[in-house]
């Protein structure tokens, strides 16, 4: 029985160019691996360093803010106490019947705050709100404004005090979700200027601060002088 000849499979022979490329790749592969690994380690190091520097910068800012607040704490506490007193006095002027002993005492205290105490600690918006409330009180005494006008300017002053406190103490006072009553003044209403209107009421001498109308003897008048220094719309 005859046997068929067995064909030997031909070995594939790579071209010299391919063999050279493979040899070169085998030679540089360890170096490439080391380079890629080194770059990864280096990038991780810089990322960690950047994160650490960011944390350190935040800590330094917090520490600086804390030192700043500690240094100015006496002023801030005085400002807060004076603001609360201004809000209390404004509330009395807006709600208590004019002419009563409580209302008259509150008006005297208001002008003490207006001309001296509050001017030491107030910011620009509080100063403007005080000027507007004082002018409204003068118009009310001259029968050129209503009690509602006084209430509106008192509310606007309270809002300015609230915003100033938030800014000073880096606070964020959340407002309630309850619906706002329709008679509460808006920001645009608070921004409206207030001018002292001329009055036909008889003028009587008050003190060196300026004249006032009859029936408005408690406290000094004269918002014109302070109004020159307070910001106007």
Helix 147-169 to helix 16-95 angle (10° resolution) is: 140
Q: What b/e readout covers 114-136, taking b as 16+ CB neighbours within 10 angstroms? A: bbebbbebbeebbbbbbbbbbbb
Q: In this structure, is residue 38 part of a structural domain?
A: no
Q: State yes or no: pLDDT of 190 exceeds 60.
A: yes
The answer to whether residue 85 sits within a structural domain is: yes
Residue 96, token pair as written in the block = 């208590």
Tell whether 24 is covered by a domain: no
**152 within some domain:** yes
Residue 129 lies in a domain: yes
pLDDT above 90 for 111: yes
Q: Which domain holds residue 197?
A: 73-227
Question: Is 36 part of any domain?
Answer: no
Strand partners, 210: 207
In a domain, 55, yes or no: no
**Least confident range of 79-83, 114-118, 176-180, 186-190:** 176-180
- For the entire predicted model, the pTM comes to 0.59
Question: For the residues 23-45, what does the mean pLDDT come to?
Answer: 76
Phi/psi at 206 (5° precision): -110, -70
Least confident of 38-42, 89-93, 216-220: 216-220
- Residue 218: pLDDT band (50, 70, 90) is very low
Domain assignment of residue 63, yes or no: no
Residue 122: alpha-carbon gap to chain centroid: 15
Mean pLDDT of 198-219: 44
Domain count, the chain: 1
Question: What are phi and psi for residue 204, nearest 5 degrees?
Answer: -120, 150
Q: Say what the pLDDT of residue 8 is.
A: 56
DSSP 119-165: GGT--HHHHHHHHHHHHHHHHHHTTSS-HHHHHHHHHHHHHHHHHHH
Using pLDDT thresholds of 50, 70 and 90, give the confidence band for residue 39.
Answer: confident
Tell me what the mean pLDDT of segment 15-30 comes to.
71
Cα 97 to Cα 93: distance, rounded to the nearest angstrom: 8
- Mean pLDDT lowest among 75-79, 169-173, 186-190, 223-227: 223-227
Paired sense of beta strands 210-213 and 203-207, if any: antiparallel
Q: CA separation (Å) from 93 to 56, 97, 121, 133, 185?
A: 51, 8, 22, 10, 17
Helix axes 124-141, 147-169, angle to 10 degrees: 170
- Cα 117 from Cα 103, distance rounded (Å): 19
């Amino acid at each position: 029985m005859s046997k068929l000849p067995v064909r030997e499979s031909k070995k594939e022979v790579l071209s010299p160019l391919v063999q050279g490329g493979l040899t070169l790749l085998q030679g540089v592969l360890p170096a490439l691996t080391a380079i890629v690994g080194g770059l990864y380690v280096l990038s991780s190091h810089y990322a960690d360093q950047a994160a650490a520097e960011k944390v350190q910068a935040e800590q330094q800012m917090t520490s600086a803010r804390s030192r700043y607040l500690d240094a100015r704490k006496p002023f801030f506490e005085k400002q807060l106490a004076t603001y609360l007193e201004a809000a209390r006095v404004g509330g009395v002027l807006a709600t208590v019947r004019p002419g009563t002993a409580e209302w008259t005492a509150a008006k005297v205290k208001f002008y003490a705050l207006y001309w001296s105490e509050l001017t030491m600690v107030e910011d620009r918006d509080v100063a403007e709100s005080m000027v507007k409330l004082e002018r409204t009180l003068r118009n009310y005494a001259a029968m050129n404004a209503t009690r509602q006008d006084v209430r509106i300017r008192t509310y606007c002053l309270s809002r300015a005090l609230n915003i100033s406190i938030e800014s000073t103490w880096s606070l964020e006072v959340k407002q309630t979700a309850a619906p706002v009553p329709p008679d509460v003044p808006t920001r645009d209403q608070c921004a409206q200027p207030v001018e002292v209107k001329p009055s036909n009421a008889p003028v009587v001498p008050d003190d060196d601060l300026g004249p006032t109308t009859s029936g408005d003897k408690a406290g000094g008048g004269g918002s014109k002088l302070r109004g020159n220094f307070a910001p106007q719309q």
